[in-house]
Structure 1
Amino acid sequence: MPKAAPYDVLFVDQSQNDPNPLPTPNDIDGSEVLLNQSSGSRLVRMQQKFVIKFGIHVHPIEARNMLYVAKSTTVPIPRVYAIYQRQEERGVVTYIVMQYVAGTTLLNLWSSLDRARKTAIARILRTYFDQLRQLQHPGYFGNIAGGPPLDDMFSATRGAHVVKTSFAAEDELIDYIIRVYSLYLGERAAHKTRYYQHVLPTVLRGNGSPVFRHNDFQRKNIMIQPDETPVIIDWEFASWYPTYWEYSTATFANGGWNDDWHDYVRMILDEYPTQSLWLSSMKLEMWT
């Protein structure tokens, strides 16, 4: 019988009193696959009550975000039971053991819901985001570990990884957004970069204070349980952002605009249409 591969234990929920041992990275073979495998992330279900999210593109801070939200709010999210890491041929792989949440994504349910049910769900989600907005900020814009925000604009853009710290003020964040844009598009966008340097400090304005945001607010990341309770999943991009950021990313993610979802986004989140249009324009230039 092959020897089990070693792994590091970064966190274990000592309060969980289940008589069965928590699953580990060595228990994954043969588990039920919940989602299709991507290049760096996979999700499997184990022992009926657990899921493990793992891969080289999975990072411990996603679980740390969830632990922070669970400790600081009453927002329903999957419980985190353990965080593991081990070195594999493809790189360092993180394993997050979480609670399995029964239900259906809001994306899959949406077309079957009438206006009253959509409104009821939106009002509940509004209370969740109100709680996140009221959390005491740490005095910077960035992730909970003190690094830069986890938005794709910073983490997945060519050259953006050179910045390792958070931003003390909105002006610093705006300067970095422009820098990322310039790094990505290079000299061919030099004139547009100078224009952004002139105009963005005026238009990309929140209230000056960071707020904790999920930053991937899409219907696919909302599970509706059998008792109708919405549960927010996938916290990998959560960080302290300007007040307008959640609305901006939510509208950008609504790329198809082929149904009435936007009518309910504005019930759930405060609207910042000006900032949203500017950020969306930049992202389209960079990523399409």
Structure 2
Amino acid sequence: MFGGDLGIYFRASGSNWQAAARPPPEYPAISREQYLRIEQDNDFTISLELWLKGHSAYTHQEVIPRSTMDTTDKPLPSYSELLAKKLKRPPPETKTLRLPQPSKEFLAQKDGSRGNFLIHDFYGCSVTLYPDDTVVKSGRKVHLDEKDALDLAAKLNIPAPRAYEASADSAGIVSIRMDYIEGESLEDLWPDMSEGDRQDICGQLREIISTMQSVESETGVIGSCGGGFFRECRRMGEYTGGPFQDEAGFNNYVTKLIGTTPTDINRALHSQLRTDHRIVFAHGDLSQHNIIVKDMKIAGIIDWEFAGWAPEYWEYVKFFEVQAKNTDWREYAKYIFPQTYYDQLATFQGVLRWGVP
């Protein structure tokens, strides 16, 4: 991957390229044409031609002497970060950035002396904890549809924040007041958990998913719980479409491929898509940091902004796309999901490879 697997990053500096990396010996300083040949010869997963074409700031043709390389230790943006910035989308790492969380001592103050506590504040979304043990999630990246999803979760007795009110102001800032879920994220707890505790948590999550997938859309529409847009999170940011009246329309949305996709690959991906799946309730972002655990029980699942009505395979497929700080998390899919969807998973891995960024 450009700037990732290869280990070389390019950034614009005036009219020249400036390289900043510690490339392995087999990849010396190279020109754009040489780089494209390397990418082609080694079958990397991202087409550099797509990235470079039409973006003059990144397509200057020049061999970069190794002596001019910037050897600074300052972290450099990855390919995903650069592309997200170019497309004016949130950086893919935003969901892992958190402020210090309130201590048990702070939460124990129930006499009204406790002040507000900012839990999260990044890229159009802030979460503030109030003395009454509710939080207000607000910002331009917050949507009223999330309350509809939380309401449905409450109706199904899914462990999730209870939503009390939602509003939007004239500037487009949406605010949702909901319960604060006390506990620790599964992401933080996972490394020190015993195998028995891990499988127990996975079993709890399996029951939750089974309950959600038992509820089908009454209209068959694929979109938010409130009948609005379908939202999803991919590696390059957030995507919106629909709502879709049927699965055929949804399939056209998810298989928008780049123009350089070989015809046979395009046809192969489309040929694998079906239109007869059940349309069920899905969270859409079952990352470990969205699963709050207390006393080895799932206290709540948070961040329902991508929840809605989706084909029955959606939760399973997205599980393998969302970020996983603990790399063995995906190996526990067999304990989490009541049903596997191997054909759909293979198809969507192809969509990830060739989909429009």
Q: How is 1:8-27 mapped onto 2 (pairs within 5 angstroms)?
A: none
Distance 1:257 1:34, change over 3 A: closer
Distance 1:124 1:255, change over 3 A: closer
CA distance in 1, matches of 2:237, 2:245: 15
Q: Residues 144 and 166 of structure 2 are in contact (CA less than 8 Å); yes or no, is this contact kept in structure 1?
A: yes
Cα offsets for 1:198-257 (capped at 9, x unmatched): 223432347522111101011111000246234111111012111211111111125567
Structure 1 counterpart of 2:162: 79
Structure 2 counterpart of 1:33: 118
Could you list the runs of 5+ residues in structure 2 that have no partner in the other structure? 1-114
Structure 1 counterpart of 2:210: 130
Runs of 4+ in 1 over 4 A off after TM superposition: 254-257, 284-288
Structure 2 counterpart of 1:220: 289
Aligned alpha-carbon RMSD (Å)? 2.5
1:65 aligns with 2:117: no
Q: Residues 104 and 224 of structure 1 are in contact (CA less than 8 Å); yes or no, is this contact kept in structure 2?
A: yes
CA distance in 1, matches of 2:344, 2:304: 23
Cα offsets for 1:84-110 (capped at 9, x unmatched): 2213xxx31011111011100000000
Query: Which amino acid in the other structure matches residue 232 of structure 1?
Result: I
1:49 aligns with 2:133: yes
1:95 aligns with 2:175: yes
CA distance in 1, matches of 2:350, 2:162: 36
Higher relative contact order (CA 8 A, sep 6+): 1
Q: Residues 178 and 196 of structure 1 are in contact (CA less than 8 Å); yes or no, is this contact kept in structure 2?
A: no
Matched residue SS, 1:173: helix
Query: Which amino acid in the other structure matches residue 277 of structure 2?
Result: G
| Count of residues paired in the alignment | 240
CA distance in 2, matches of 1:142, 1:100: 26
Distance 1:171 1:199, change over 3 A: farther
Structure 2 counterpart of 1:23: none
Distance 1:128 1:271, change over 3 A: same
Could you list the runs of 5+ residues in structure 1 that have no partner in the other structure? 1-29
What is the identity percentage for the equivalent residue pairs of Structure 1 and Structure 2?
Answer: 24
1:117 aligns with 2:197: yes
Q: Residues 146 and 166 of structure 1 are in contact (CA less than 8 Å); yes or no, is this contact kept in structure 2?
A: no
Q: Report how far residue 271 of structure 1 moved.
A: 1.8
Q: How is 1:266-285 mapped onto 2 (pairs within 5 angstroms)?
A: 266-269=334-337, 270-285=339-354
